Chain A
Amino acid sequence: MTKDDRFQSLYQKYYLRIVRFYVRSFHLSEDDARDLAQDAFIRFYKAMDEYRGEAEWAFFETIARNVAYNRIRSQNATKRRGKHVDIEDPKTRVPGAPAPDYAKQQEDATRWRQLYDAIAELPESQRQCIQLQLDGFKYREIAKFLGISDDAVKSRRRDALKHLREKLGADLLPEDDE
């Protein structure tokens, strides 16, 4: 099988799966994901003579992740260079929108501050689980990231919530609903 044949075979089998991987894990738009996937395959094609078999696909994963991390990095750099808008600036407020309830905002901010301070004081293993859950990760995702079982994640989360309820009161936290 020639290099071009091998490349075509891999491309046809994996291109769309790589696109989906980018959309799901890197939160890229479909168009960006397609563009990035093609970029990764081009780089792979140029260097694929150096690898064979399983090493070849591991090599592709490295390339695919690398192009995506670089994209994220450049996007973040662009964001950092972007113009900052003060949301309290009356000129930026939507016409006709109700005036902000500053008392409510202050109360919410205080509650969140208390929550985050309490989380920061948790043992590391519990804190990581709670922090990741607040960022929207599922049990299995947390488990994969921390390299532990799903049950261990549930157990740590349960212990963490117990600590937090004791410290902050039951009404501050939702029930264990996952």
Chain B
Amino acid sequence: MITKSMPEPPTPDEMLAYVRGELSADDEARFRERLLPYPELVRTLTAPFPTEGAEPGDEDYLSDEDFARHWAAMQKRMPRPAVVYLWPSVAAIAASLALVLGVLYWQKQVQTERPHVLTVDSQPLFPDGSERGGGSAPATVMPEDGWYSLVPVLMDERPFDSYRVELFDAGVDPQRSLWTMSGLRRRQDATLIVAVPRSFLSPGLYRLAIYGSKGKGEEHVNSYTIRVPTTAH
């Protein structure tokens, strides 16, 4: 038996493109040829779509009463406003967003309220008692853009795996530890970089102590006394 395979019927989108006259003349001709094996689809194109509505009094004009019945039926079929269904999702998203923003804010606060390592060079500090440091005279540090950028120069050639810095309030006796951070790496120019937010240091004397860590042991390397002048605030 000889059979001829039928072309795939056009999709609704293709039918609508044809109806809207969006095809070129050649494409229209090809489309018609493709439609021929599907007379039920051809028929949808041969009957005119109503362009003139009925007027009140016409047989096919829907009365107000009938419309009211239809409207009630349609409202049952209409989905409720999306906001009703979306609200729980929106609330969940908002809560998640608030949580994330809260964490970010907290992290930012922690960052801004506590010293941390920067990657820019700024104020080199020399260890207390060193010749370049001017003996025991504290180095006066000034903030820039809200930060004290401290660059302690390590004058110790002992190899350490990492370093820990600790900041003390040197204006009280005994000195009080304010903050510490470990895991710092010595840079090629034998310095560390520590950024301290301006608000963290009120005017006064402070001591920055550096400790070298190797294995489980730790040794003091250098200390740097700094002074925050009243003019810095």
Contact = CB atoms under 8 A, between A and B. Distances in A.
Interface string B42-62: 111111011101111000111
**Interface SS majority for chain B:** helix
A145 interface: yes
A17 B39 contact: no
B32 A128 contact: yes
A137 B45 CA distance: 12
A65 B70 contact: no
Interface residues of B, number: 39
Interface string B70-99: 110110011000000000000000000000
Contacts of A69: 11-12, 15-16, 44
Given A16-B54, A18-B50, A38-B77, A25 B44 contact: yes
Given A11-B62, A66-B12, A26 B44 contact: yes
B19 interface: yes
Interface stretch (A70-78, A88-96, A97-105): A70-78
Interface of B: 9, 11-12, 15-16, 19-20, 28, 32-33, 36, 39-47, 49-51, 53-56, 60-64, 67, 70-71, 73-74, 77-78
Given A39-B77, A62-B20, 11 more contacts: A11-B62, A12-B64, A13-B61, A25-B44, A26-B40, A45-B74, A65-B16, A128-B36, A131-B36, A132-B39, A141-B46
